[in-house]
Amino acid sequence: MFGYFTVLAAIPGFFLSSLILMALWGVIAPKFGIDKIGYPMAMLITITLWLTVAPLVAAGRRARK
């Protein structure tokens, strides 16, 4: 049951992370000559990073126990 609430608590963090990524990308991108991204692309990048990092974090937690 605790895992279910953990997932629900992560949802606002996902949207906030996407918003921050979009804002920071808009500031940094012109300096590198890269196009700016919109919110849907920021969401795609964020979920990709989360799906990549989550198994690594889980493996690290299991190794500590």
20-56 confidence digits (pLDDT tens): 999 999 999 999 999 999 999 999 999 999 899 988 8
Residue 56, both tokens:
């690594």
Q: What distance, in Å, lies between the first and last C-alpha atoms of the chain?
A: 21
Q: What is the pLDDT of residue 1?
A: 57
Q: What is the pLDDT of residue 52?
A: 92
- How far is it, in rounded angstroms, from Cα 16 to Cα 65? 31
pTM of the model: 0.75
Task: Indicate the number of domains in the chain.
Answer: 1
Structural domain containing residue 24: 2-64
Q: What is the pLDDT of residue 37?
A: 95
Q: 58 vs 36, which has greater pLDDT?
A: 36
